[in-house]
Amino acid sequence: MARRRKGENIHGWIVLDKPLDMTSTQAVSAVRRLFNAKKAGHAGTLDPLATGILPIALGDATKTVPFAMDGEKVYRFSIAWGTRTDTLDREGDVVARSDHRPAAAEITAVLAEFTGEIDQIPPAFSAIKVDGERAYDLARDGETVELEARRVYIDSLELIDCPDADHARFEMRCGKGVYVRSLARDIAHALGTEGHIAELRRTLVGTFEESESTKLDVLKEMAHKGAASEALLPVQTALDDIPVLAVSEEESFQLKQGRSIVLLPRLAQELKEQRRPLTIAGKDCTFLVLAECSGEAVALGDAKAGKFQPSRVFNMTP
């Protein structure tokens, strides 16, 4: 007989302001312990040397993680000129040096090369699997790791300032899969120098913003006072761009049994007018709709041909 997972049925999102020198996995474990939650996951890894927005899903919110991961992201980061490290951040060993320090005008002139669709080679020290093993494990063992270039999309890339000759600060808005450490390496090479990430902070993930984030120390204090739930956001927070269908208690029951419900012509037309092209985790989700009952998420499913067919049901029992 399978062992029953310990913990409570806690459902929702915590927008954690991840501290320095903590892995994303450690952050998820810390939040899960604070809530004594049965299930937890995160929407997009942050390196230990990065801070900022790490959305953590508890309970049935984990069913919406792909929607958060495919959302837009904003990063603020600093590049240190003159040295490249094996990890492409300040934690690694120096593997290349350059005496050139680019001026602000030089930097601004090359940024257009790194906006729109670009091909990017991920860092050797990354979680990408190579023949079943993580690239960073192979790199730490001294093996040469060669990763293929990937197509990614960068909406905007702006130079914020140059506080001194050795550093430049940037802000980037991008899609899924962009490696900021690789970007630092490539910008430096385009400028005829070397560089690595000195500081990195994520300020936006999909609908999750920096202004609604909570620091881990604050969350611990809230948990000590029995008030941690005040930082918990609804399960459907990650589904902000999905059309919503309000259903009755009876319809909610039917959907949770996996049964479809009939849509009135007026509702079907309204949902059709809200429809837009949407791809999540490589799957076409153009017809996707969120069913809610009294403000609580009931099910995700397709609304077409006059019916709503649930594909993912939320069971948020205490």
Give CA torsion, residues 109, 110, 111, 112, to 10 deg: 90
**Domain residue limits, the chain:** 12-71+207-234, 73-205, 242-313
| 317 has a pLDDT exceeding 80 | no
β 73-81/167-174 pair status? antiparallel
Instruction: Give mean pLDDT, residues 17-32.
Output: 96
- Closest-CA residue to 66 (of 258, 279, 274): 279
**Fold that domain 12-71+207-234 belongs to in CATH:** Pseudouridine synthase (3.30.2350)
Digit-coded pLDDT (tens) for 27-44: 999 999 999 999 999 998
pLDDT of residue 148: 80
Which residues does 259 contact at the CB level (< 8 Å), separation at least 6?
A: 310
Instruction: Give mean pLDDT, residues 142-156.
Output: 83
Helix (H) or strand (E) holding 119: strand 116-120
| 275 has a pLDDT exceeding 90 | no
| 105 has a pLDDT exceeding 50 | yes
Q: At 282, list the tokens.
A: 């490589």
Instruction: Give mean pLDDT, residues 231-257.
Output: 94
Q: Please check whether residue 74 is in contact with residue 160, taking contact to mean a CB–CB distance below 8 angstroms.
A: no
pLDDT of residue 256: 93
Percent of the chain with pLDDT over 90: 75
pLDDT of residue 276: 83
CATH of 73-205, one of 3.40.50.1360, 2.40.110.10, 3.30.2350.10, 3.40.30.10: 3.30.2350.10
Equal CATH topology for 73-205 and 242-313: no
Phi, psi of 162 (to 5 degrees): -125, 90
Quick one: 72 exposed, middle or buried, by C-beta within 10 A (0-12, 13-18, 19+)?
middle
| Lowest mean pLDDT, pick from 86-90, 222-226, 277-281 | 277-281
Q: Please check whether residue 6 is in contact with residue 37, taking contact to mean a CB–CB distance below 8 angstroms.
A: no
Digit-coded pLDDT (tens) for 253-262: 999 999 999 9
Question: Which of these is catalytic: 47, 60, 70, 89?
Answer: 47
| 131 has a pLDDT exceeding 80 | no
| 296 has a pLDDT exceeding 90 | yes
pLDDT of residue 318: 65
pLDDT of residue 1: 42
| 51 has a pLDDT exceeding 60 | yes
pLDDT of residue 136: 63
- Distances in Å between the Cα of 36 and the Cα atoms of 10, 58, 149 are 8, 10, 41
Return the CATH architecture of domain 242-313. Answer: Roll (2.30)
Q: Please check whether residue 167 is in contact with residue 81, taking contact to mean a CB–CB distance below 8 angstroms.
A: yes
| 314 has a pLDDT exceeding 70 | yes
| 251 has a pLDDT exceeding 80 | yes
Whole-number Å distance between alpha carbons of 269 and 193? 57
Q: At 215, list the tokens.
A: 């620091």
How far, rounded to the nearest angstrom, does the alpha carbon of residue 5 sit from its chain's CA centroid?
26
Helix (H) or strand (E) holding 251: helix 249-256
Split at pLDDT 50, 70, 90, the class of 292 is very high
pTM of the model: 0.90
Our answer to whether residue 60 is catalytic in this structure is no
- Distances in Å between the Cα of 124 and the Cα atoms of 121, 130, 259, 293, 312 are 9, 10, 47, 47, 36
pLDDT of residue 212: 93
pLDDT of residue 116: 97
β 12-18/50-58 pair status? antiparallel
